[in-house]
Structure 1
Amino acid sequence: MAAMAVTLAMFVAFARGRMPVEIISLLTIAVIAVGLYFFPLEGTNPTDGLALAFSGFGHYALITICALMIMGRGLVVTGALEPAARLLERVFKINLQLGLLVSLLLALFLSMGVNDTPVLVLLMPIFVALAARGAMPASKTLIPLNAAVLIGGMATTIGTSTNILVVSIAVDLGMPTMGVFHYTPIVLIAALIALPYLWLVMPRLLGDNSVESKAVQRRFHTRLRIAPDSSLAGVELSSILPRLPGDIRFHDHPSGPLQPQQRLHISGTHEALEDAMRVLKGHLAPSWVVDRIRRESAAKGQDITVVEMTVTADSRLISRTLPTSGIADLYGVAVLGIHRPERLMGERDQYSQGGDLRISEGDVLLVMGLPGSLQDFADADSLLMLEGARELPRKSKALLAAAIMIFSVFTASIGIFPIAISALAGAILMFVTGCVKFDRVGRALSARVIVLVAASIAIGRIVLESGAAEWLGEALAMGLQHLPPAAVLAAIMLFVTLLTNFASNATAATVGTPIAFKIATQLGLPPEPLILAVLFGCNLCYATPVAYQTNMLIMSEGSYQFNDYIRTGVPLVFLMVTVLSVLLVTTYGM
């Protein structure tokens, strides 16, 4: 009874949301440790309770989850997933509905091998940007995209941390280990049935929550230099314009074909300038400066950073142009562009005879370099460094990061190594090869996930060892003993789904897995389909924003209300429960 009370209290605390998840998790661990010390389980010592309460921190499932987080971080910081994102944007330009369908399929398949959160973090800005350019509103696309990511993450044992948790608990209960793609066909068939709902129905159930008053991004003026080895040399600019972002403006229109080393006066947001630089195969700063920064980055092992700096009244740069400022020689940084209000750009006295813009007080410079060099530049030339600096992806490591992830997934999928070993090996390779820096591990790991998983493992163990799971299993078995197998599976799935949507999928997994195992024993059914019913139920977290971290991630970007999740998520939950229950009965001959 005490174990069930602690579990219920944790569920209620999660559902109320008044305290952070980390605090609730740590309090749960503390209550279990103190409670078992003064009231130990039968046949155990007081110190055994401490070992049980803190066992989650040393559990191989938690180590595996952390290793997968590190590998997912490697894919993000190296830009390994960017080609897929660019392809998606081109498809959207052809047709909005086709773009949404391709996006859902891409999200589904990517999340089968990559943790849900990195996939959504990569794709979400694309949908927000497309909405700003007149495509489908973000509020109509982000919930369907999130649902596709969650369904894809359900399809493999490594798709989400919850799947690893359920499989590891099942192994502890005596079941054989499941391979990475052990039940993937079942989920893919269910996904095929659910896809029309995600694609055609969900967007219609969601309103347009677009906010009209959005902050305008700064536009930077720059000279884009055509590289000597560019394949665009000799090509007319008009033939390239359709491939460029619509945000790019040309302030001089060259006559005739483009020539190597030609400088084009363009303006656009930072993201648009990067896209134009990639398409036109050029540089926003002299190539020797960029090469120097990259060499220093490789030698020092530091990431290249891009930051915005405001020119103050005391700066020596005022009235100078970039070529005459000596910035690159003095500080080893590259100025990629200058922002100035459009209403001031037409004044001819602001340009030198060579056509370069003279720097004025209040201009915002877009500067690239190493952190130390950027700080020296700001201090010496009286510049105010603005917030929002971002590190450039280490694209030279992109293929390597993708290869490491594929290697880890492949070796685990065919049974060469257990998933814990292959994930740890992959994380170590990410560190050794420089795809993930040791000082950036904190960004890869989520403290919330770590303590939540640790608390969930402790809750699962005390529910099991105190006899609470056995009692619940017997009670549920009595109510389910006269039902057909499909109804038993559906009932278990719905029970776990209810827990995961109002509490935590990790805690629902640790409580539901031993209960399902006990029900299978009581009813004489094969345990594996019931364990899978728990696994599937833990992933059906569409109906509330607190059910999963990606649900919260899209809430502000889509300006969603609680009812948006209920209106779109509840029908999807019942659809998936029905389809998955029938598929499990058919697959296992029940």
Structure 2
Amino acid sequence: MIAAPSFHAIAAIAVTIAMFVGFIRGRLSIEIVSLLTIAVIAVGLYFFPIEGTDPTDGIVLAFSGFGHYALITICALMIMGRGLVVTGALEPAARFLERVFKWNIQLGLLFSLLIAFVLSMGVNNTPVLVLLIPIFVTLAARGALPASKTLIPLNAASLIGGLATTIGTSTNILVVSIAVDLGMDRMGVFHFTPIVLVAGALALPYLWLVMPRMLKDNRTTEFQQQRKFYSRLRVGDESKLVGEKIADILPRLPEGITFHDKTDGTITAQERLLISGTHEALEEAMREIGGEVAPIWVIDKIRRKSRELGQDINVVEMTVTADSRLLNRTLPTSGVADLFGVAVLGIHRPDTVIGDKDKYSSGGDLRINEGDVLLVMGLIDDVQEFARSDSLLQLEGARELPRRSKALLAAIIMGISVGLASLGIFPIAIAALGGAILMFVTGCVKFDRVGKALSGQVIVLVAASIAIGRLIDESGAADWLGQLLSLAIAFDGPANIQLAITIAVIMLFMTVLTNFASNATAATVGTPIAFAISNQLGLPPEPLVLAVLFGCNLCYATPIAYQTNMLIMAEGSYNFQDYVRTGVPLVAIMVTTLTALLVLTYGM
């Protein structure tokens, strides 16, 4: 018999269940549920402190998550990921994957899952996800699969890959180290890799074909209904377009780019071709085939001024009002570039009919009407002066152009940080924080833009999960649950059946614990329990220790289970139910498969 749980252990379990129910029901936002959980822990431990502690110690425990290294690590990784995005450092990789996805979406996703899996076998899966997240967000913006349909499968693939070697995750190292201290022989790097490879191969069809269909397209309506702008593609004397046929360059262009006044034939120097497309499509087309959609001299002037002042170039959408002096003018006759130093890249008009000659000047340029939306590029002060002077209404959705001059520097900083963490020279927390600071110091990320990199939802969720984990550990709830587990599986029966049930129960217990506490807590509590059970039942300790190690890594079912789950939460616009809906079946697949493989490998 085991002793009854303490009052604090019962309270810890109750608070954990209440938080889980609050997340699942979804009536309150994740931020509110997280803050309420922290408040309940702080107030409860203040009035009913754990034995041997002071009331103020409970407050420290409740709010410890806000200063915890895990939260600092996640924020630093978000900042470095932001640096890769705003500098355009990942665009080459994104364009390569975009071509793969364009060739075949399903094969593109499969290729990406395999990359995440293989990389995570030798590199900590956290930096792997940090590298992949902005790439797939960029791909989603270019019309590939929505980020909400790819990030959870990618995260799961990286977690399974990290499970395959003793160095794949810090949890693996911790379990193996504790087992060695308890008397077990040290496992090699690939000691249990074949088992995980077989389990991963069986789980892959679920990640690839089923999981994306279970996830919704979380893009906003505004994102899905981007405006199409009409513009003039200027072909210079040195342009690589000269002499090419339009039919030959169309396959190289992003979807949505259309040529209007010239749809076939050969392109000649100094032509101004009427094209249309979204801003992102126009930008990608310019990068792919060369040329500009605004006078080259004003583009060069904006870039030169940006470098001199150290300011970002912005692209803003503006609506033409009834009082604007631009009405009935064309862009060449408006004098916008000379007066304000900004470039108008295109004009959006929902009811434009390209063949309607009344809407064009004799030179073939579109006349500006009330209600037109102009796509304007320039430094923010110049853009705002243009809006004030010419009676334009600035719309939401302004964005900064990538600072490509910093792209190589951002990639080097990320590479060094990932390398130092992967080789074990520095903990991931130190490497990530150092990388984030370098991103600020070198100007890859502007300090006043850091709010765009961080997610308040993720911050309070991490803080609440850390507080819950400490409460479960320090209240004795984890130890009591471990004793209950040991008692529950103490039975007589055939050796292989006893081994199978013991492995499955231990793995499920570790999975539940790691999804609500932490990997470290589960590993610390579970490894000694596995040894105790092996001694009590006369079973080999190694498969039971591996059941602990595997269970500690099956953290797919909640966002609080692992830091990469939280990293993808904001980018994929996920809610708690998304993790439960997709993660529970994956846990069932992995527990069943890994249990069977361990029994086949170690059965007596």
* Superposition TM-score, scaled by structure 2 size: 0.79
Cross-structure match for 1:123: 136
Cross-structure match for 2:556: 539
Cross-structure match for 2:383: 374
Cross-structure match for 2:153: 147
SS at 1:54 equivalent: helix
Provide the rounded CA distance (Å) in 2 between the counterparts of 1:514 and 1:255. Answer: 69
**Residue pair 1:39, 1:46 contacting (<8 A) in 2 also:** yes
**Residue pair 1:206, 1:564 contacting (<8 A) in 2 also:** no
Cross-structure match for 2:424: 415
Q: Shift in Å at residue 539 of structure 1?
A: 2.8
**Residue pair 1:156, 1:180 contacting (<8 A) in 2 also:** no
Q: How does 1:57-456 map to 2 (within 5 A)?
A: 57-106=66-115, 112=125, 114=127, 116=129, 119=132, 122-123=135-136, 126=139, 130=143, 143=149, 146-153=152-159, 155-156=161-162, 190-200=199-209, 216-253=225-262, 257-341=266-350, 343-456=352-465
Provide the rounded CA distance (Å) in 2 between the counterparts of 1:329 and 1:283. Answer: 18
**Residue pair 1:56, 1:455 contacting (<8 A) in 2 also:** yes
Provide the rounded CA distance (Å) in 2 between the counterparts of 1:34 and 1:293. Answer: 56
Provide the rounded CA distance (Å) in 2 between the counterparts of 1:71 and 1:271. Answer: 23
Q: Shift in Å at residue 215 of structure 1?
A: 6.7
Q: Deviations over 1:350-401 (max 9, x none)?
A: 3333322222222211111222222111111011112222222223323322
Q: Shift in Å at residue 281 of structure 1?
A: 0.8
**Residue pair 1:79, 1:394 contacting (<8 A) in 2 also:** yes
Are positions 1:12 and 2:16 aligned together? no
Q: Deviations over 1:272-322 (max 9, x none)?
A: 212221222111111222222223333333322212111111111112221
Structure 1 578/215 Cα, relative in aligned 2: closer, same or farther at 3 Å?
Answer: closer
| Identical pairs, percent | 58
Provide the rounded CA distance (Å) in 2 between the counterparts of 1:577 and 1:96. Answer: 30
Q: Could you tell me which of 510, 516, 529 is aligned with 2:526? A: 516
Provide the rounded CA distance (Å) in 2 between the counterparts of 1:490 and 1:228. Answer: 71
Provide the rounded CA distance (Å) in 1 between the counterparts of 2:579 and 2:475. Answer: 39
Structure 1 221/401 Cα, relative in aligned 2: closer, same or farther at 3 Å?
Answer: same
Are positions 1:575 and 2:589 aligned together? yes
Structure 1 104/434 Cα, relative in aligned 2: closer, same or farther at 3 Å?
Answer: same
Residues 254-263 or 359-368, more deviating: 254-263
**Residue pair 1:533, 1:581 contacting (<8 A) in 2 also:** no
Provide the rounded CA distance (Å) in 1 between the counterparts of 2:235 and 2:602. Answer: 62
Provide the rounded CA distance (Å) in 2 between the counterparts of 1:518 and 1:245. Answer: 57
**Residue pair 2:482, 2:529 contacting (<8 A) in 1 also:** yes
**Residue pair 1:190, 1:576 contacting (<8 A) in 2 also:** yes
Provide the rounded CA distance (Å) in 1 between the counterparts of 2:594 and 2:482. Answer: 22
Q: What amino acid is aligned across from residue 340 of structure 1 in structure 2?
A: R
**Residue pair 1:309, 1:384 contacting (<8 A) in 2 also:** yes
Q: Shift in Å at residue 418 of structure 1?
A: 2.0
Structure 1 167/300 Cα, relative in aligned 2: closer, same or farther at 3 Å?
Answer: farther
SS at 1:358 equivalent: coil
**Residue pair 2:218, 2:573 contacting (<8 A) in 1 also:** no
Provide the rounded CA distance (Å) in 2 between the counterparts of 1:240 and 1:184. Answer: 47
**Residue pair 2:35, 2:464 contacting (<8 A) in 1 also:** yes
Provide the rounded CA distance (Å) in 2 between the counterparts of 1:287 and 1:353. Answer: 23
Structure 1 314/587 Cα, relative in aligned 2: closer, same or farther at 3 Å?
Answer: farther
Structure 1 297/523 Cα, relative in aligned 2: closer, same or farther at 3 Å?
Answer: farther
Provide the rounded CA distance (Å) in 1 between the counterparts of 2:368 and 2:425. Answer: 61
Structure 1 424/11 Cα, relative in aligned 2: closer, same or farther at 3 Å?
Answer: same
**Residue pair 1:179, 1:415 contacting (<8 A) in 2 also:** no
Provide the rounded CA distance (Å) in 2 between the counterparts of 1:207 and 1:16. Answer: 18
Q: What amino acid is aligned across from residue 123 of structure 1 in structure 2?
A: F
Provide the rounded CA distance (Å) in 2 between the counterparts of 1:212 and 1:315. Answer: 29
**Residue pair 1:492, 1:533 contacting (<8 A) in 2 also:** no
Provide the rounded CA distance (Å) in 1 between the counterparts of 2:192 and 2:83. Answer: 27
Q: How does 1:25-44 map to 2 (within 5 A)?
A: 25-44=34-53
**Residue pair 2:417, 2:435 contacting (<8 A) in 1 also:** yes
Structure 1 471/565 Cα, relative in aligned 2: closer, same or farther at 3 Å?
Answer: closer
Provide the rounded CA distance (Å) in 2 between the counterparts of 1:299 and 1:182. Answer: 57
**Residue pair 2:237, 2:269 contacting (<8 A) in 1 also:** yes
Q: How many residues align?
A: 567
Q: What amino acid is aligned across from residue 136 of structure 2 in structure 1?
A: L
Residues 16-25 or 144-153, more deviating: 144-153
Provide the rounded CA distance (Å) in 1 between the counterparts of 2:325 and 2:516. Answer: 57
Structure 1 206/487 Cα, relative in aligned 2: closer, same or farther at 3 Å?
Answer: same
Q: Shift in Å at residue 19 of structure 1?
A: 2.1
Q: What amino acid is aligned across from residue 309 of structure 1 in structure 2?
A: M
Provide the rounded CA distance (Å) in 1 between the counterparts of 2:196 and 2:408. Answer: 29
**Residue pair 1:155, 1:181 contacting (<8 A) in 2 also:** no
**Residue pair 2:286, 2:292 contacting (<8 A) in 1 also:** yes
Provide the rounded CA distance (Å) in 1 between the counterparts of 2:55 and 2:188. Answer: 38
SS at 1:283 equivalent: coil
SS at 1:18 equivalent: coil
**Residue pair 2:245, 2:267 contacting (<8 A) in 1 also:** yes
Q: Deviations over 1:310-335 (max 9, x none)?
A: 11111111122212211112222110
Q: Shift in Å at residue 44 of structure 1?
A: 2.4
**Residue pair 1:69, 1:115 contacting (<8 A) in 2 also:** no
Provide the rounded CA distance (Å) in 2 between the counterparts of 1:225 and 1:86. Answer: 24
Provide the rounded CA distance (Å) in 2 between the counterparts of 1:555 and 1:46. Answer: 38
SS at 1:376 equivalent: helix
* Superposition TM-score, scaled by structure 1 size: 0.81
Q: Pairwise CA RMSD of aligned residues?
A: 4.4
Q: Deviations over 1:178-200 (max 9, x none)?
A: 99999988756543332234345
**Residue pair 2:148, 2:218 contacting (<8 A) in 1 also:** no
Q: Deviations over 1:163-185 (max 9, x none)?
A: 77x68997999999x99999988
Provide the rounded CA distance (Å) in 1 between the counterparts of 2:379 and 2:175. Answer: 48
Residues 20-29 or 508-517, more deviating: 508-517
Unaligned runs of 5+ in 1: 132-137, 158-162
Provide the rounded CA distance (Å) in 2 between the counterparts of 1:398 and 1:496. Answer: 42
Provide the rounded CA distance (Å) in 1 between the counterparts of 2:220 and 2:319. Answer: 28
Q: Deviations over 1:22-62 (max 9, x none)?
A: 23223322332333233222222333223322222222222
Q: Deviations over 1:482-540 (max 9, x none)?
A: 5756644433443455578xxxx464647644542452353254696455334322135
SS at 2:555 equivalent: helix
Structure 1 204/373 Cα, relative in aligned 2: closer, same or farther at 3 Å?
Answer: closer
Q: Shift in Å at residue 427 of structure 1?
A: 1.1
Provide the rounded CA distance (Å) in 2 between the counterparts of 1:289 and 1:273. Answer: 18
**Residue pair 2:149, 2:217 contacting (<8 A) in 1 also:** no
